[in-house]
Amino acid sequence: MPNYTVKQGECISSIAQNRGFSWEKIWNHPNNAKLKEKRKDPNVLYPGDVVFVPGKEEKQVSGSTEQRHRFKAKSKTRYLRLVMQDSQGNPLSKRPYGLQVGGRLVAGAGGSALKTDDKGVIECEVAPGTSEARVVIDNDIWVLRLAALDPIDTIEGLQGRLNNLNYPVGSVDGVMGPRTCEALRNFQRDNNLEVDGEYGPKTQEKMKQVHGC
């Protein structure tokens, strides 16, 4: 079917990977223009969004008979970029870390741990469709659900970002309950916003600036 309904944890890259396309092929298709305008980021979709998936096109190439020909599929590299901070928002600079992405150990084996940079940044290549990563610093463990962040203008998107920024709301349930309201007010207070508990345009813009997406 050309129209695909997005499920939780999916993004354009994972949808494209499962169908043998580059993510640009789907994201930049004219039939997805309205979705692209609405969501802005191909890695942040909402369950229920509808994505147009074009049919595969036949490609013809010339070649001599009775010879071996090799064809190489193009793929785009994706990166995971994390900014590690303490509870006061200070970067965890130059800290050794262990990192496991999609079951693959990237750092931390046999004394080969890498270190965060001056700003506490960790960056590594990840395969499309990777759903989980684990980071260990100073015996603290973070389990990250990749591609599970909802759009910034949704309650689920707000809750996910507040949790990531250490304003805990608990489970991401899409309900603007007391715990979410309290975390939102704390975020507004810490970022010199009007502390009204309303998730309006100014707070969303500041959230995007602080969180990074």
Class of domain 78-145: mainly beta
* Confidence band, pLDDT 50/70/90 cuts, at residue 22: confident
Q: pLDDT of 42-68, one tens digit each? A: 878 888 899 999 887 666 666 666 667
**Residues in CB range of 140: below 8 A, 6 or more apart:** none
Domains 3-52 and 155-211 share a fold: no
- Residue holding tokens 């990250």? 144
Instruction: Give this prediction's pTM.
Output: 0.60
Spatial distance between the Cα atoms of 30 and 32, rounded to a whole number of angstroms = 5
Q: Which residues of 29-61 are buried (b: 16+ CB within 10 A; e: fewer)?
A: beebeebeeebeebbbbbeebebbbeeeeeeee
Distances (CA, A) of 111 to 93, 107, 108, 133, 169: 19, 9, 6, 20, 36
* Confidence band, pLDDT 50/70/90 cuts, at residue 180: very high
Class of domain 3-52: alpha beta
Residue 12 DSSP symbol: H
The closest of 146, 125, 123, 212 to 10, measured between CA atoms, is 146
* Residue extents of the structural domains in the chain: 3-52, 78-145, 155-211
Topology of domain 155-211, CATH:
Muramoyl-pentapeptide Carboxypeptidase; domain 1 (1.10.101)
Helical residues (DSSP H) of the chain, grouped into ranges: 12-19, 23-27, 33-39, 155-164, 178-190, 201-211
Q: pLDDT of 104-150, one tens digit each? A: 777 765 545 688 999 888 888 777 667 788 888 888 888 877 767 78
